[in-house]
Structure 1
Amino acid sequence: MFKRILTVLSLCLVSFTAMAEEAYVAGKHYDVISPAIRTADPSTIEAAEFFWYGCSHCYNFEPMISQWKKTLDEDVNFRGIPAMWGGAMELHARAYYTARVLKAEDRLDTAMFQALNVDRKPLRSENEIAELFAANGVAEEDFHKAFNSFGVSSQVRQANSTARAAKITGTPSMMVNGKYLITARKAGGLGNMLKVADFLIAKERAAQGG
């Protein structure tokens, strides 16, 4: 009897796994990135978001993804990647990495989204962004030093290179482990992007034997 119960449970588990694997399909709900992109930390499963502070969809997605990040297991590393298509977007990408260098990202991410989406401030110059940082407790001298540093410049170049390699066409977009690209259009909405991301993270974990 015990063996029969184990057999039934095993069959149920196999059935459940098969159903989970069929929940989201490559090409339909997400795209496969080929060739795969090297992640920042190969020892973890990377979940990345391509975004722009001035994107209204990214602004609406931010509270959702902030809560989602809190649910991620320790083997998952989240990374934000600012998108750049010209105009002031490179300046905004520099602001993103500058905030991290100065360890002020918690308040400056919110301030940048607020300024561009609610207050309608275009932030088209370094000085305009410096004023925003100063209003949120960052000395202008510290801002300019970090904003024009080699480290920030390198991160901006890397972000642009990664976005090009992933062939993103809009924001927000998500990437899992450098292998899969998720868009709201294919996933079926912003909330569904996170569901597809969870599915692909589990897929990567299973592939790694985790």
Structure 2
Amino acid sequence: MRNLILSAVLAGASLFGIAAHAATIEEGKQYVALSSPVPVSVPGKIEVVELFWYGCPHCYQFEPTLNPWVEKLPDDVNFVRVPALFGGAWNMHGQLYITLDTMKVEQQVHDAVFRAIHQEGKKLAGPEEMASFVATQGVDKDAFLKTFNSFAVKGRMEKAKKLAMAYQITGVPVLIVNGKYRFDIGSSGGPEQALQVADQLIAKERAAQ
């Protein structure tokens, strides 16, 4: 019984600690304010951007926490994923993501790409290999290759590069709220805490409108 009571006390203290942490976020600790705010993609909505890489294990581990949160976002919040393009495999996987996003595939295709890389050991290092894999997920191979090499995708690649520079990112995953505030899992204290920081910064921006 004593152990049960002690466990309950510790659990309560842990929850209180998380709540207190979420209630006292400070600039320079849990997040940083960008020196030059970046315009959002949909004016009038509060934007949350995640910069990521399919090959990043932390990004993969963040997905099960992030995706349910995204699904419950209110109508005045616009969530955007942007691939980080640091060269090499980062750029190739970024082009893969942008191609699939341009084709408006379902989330399960992105989930399958993450699993292929992190659980099945696939490299997905070139367009032919990518096309063959996404075909197993119901994506038309020829349409994929055509879109992959399109001017629209190349234009979005250039935009993604410029955004990463404007956000001043050095790693992933990282979140940006409304083009003003940058933070990551490490600075926030964990995946769940990162989303608590996001919630509070969303509320801050909503109150300022």
Q: Answer whether TM exceeds 0.5 for this pair.
A: yes
Counterpart of 1:15 in structure 2 is none
**Match for 2:40: what amino acid?**
T
Is 1:53 aligned to residue 54 of structure 2? yes
Counterpart of 1:97 in structure 2 is 98
Counterpart of 1:130 in structure 2 is 131
Structure 2: how far apart are the matches of 1:104 and 1:185? 31
Structure 2: how far apart are the matches of 1:98 and 1:108? 12
CA contact (8 A) 1:50 1:81 kept: yes
**Match for 1:63: what amino acid?**
P
Counterpart of 1:196 in structure 2 is 197
SS in 1 for 2:50: strand
Structure 2: how far apart are the matches of 1:71 and 1:135? 29
TM-score, normalised to structure 1's length? 0.86
TM-score, normalised to structure 2's length? 0.86
SS in 1 for 2:182: strand
**Match for 1:104: what amino acid?**
V
How many residues are aligned here? 190
Structure 1: how far apart are the matches of 2:108 and 2:184? 27
Is 1:146 aligned to residue 164 of structure 2? no
Counterpart of 1:88 in structure 2 is 89
SS in 1 for 2:80: strand
**Match for 1:188: what amino acid?**
G
Which is greater in Rg? 1
CA contact (8 A) 1:88 1:125 kept: no
Structure 1: how far apart are the matches of 2:86 and 2:199? 28
Moved over 3 A (4+): 19-22
**Match for 1:116: what amino acid?**
I
Q: Report Cα offsets for 1:40-93 as digits up to 9, x if no partner.
A: 012100011011111111111111111101221110000001111111111211
- 1:107, CA displacement in angstroms? 2.6
Counterpart of 1:180 in structure 2 is 181
Runs of 5+ consecutive residues of structure 2 not aligned to the other structure:
1-19
**Match for 2:112: what amino acid?**
A
Q: Which moved more, 1:103-112 or 1:158-167?
A: 103-112
CA contact (8 A) 2:83 2:94 kept: yes
Q: Report Cα offsets for 1:99-125 as digits up to 9, x if no partner.
A: 122221423201210111111111111
CA contact (8 A) 2:22 2:196 kept: no
**Match for 2:199: what amino acid?**
D
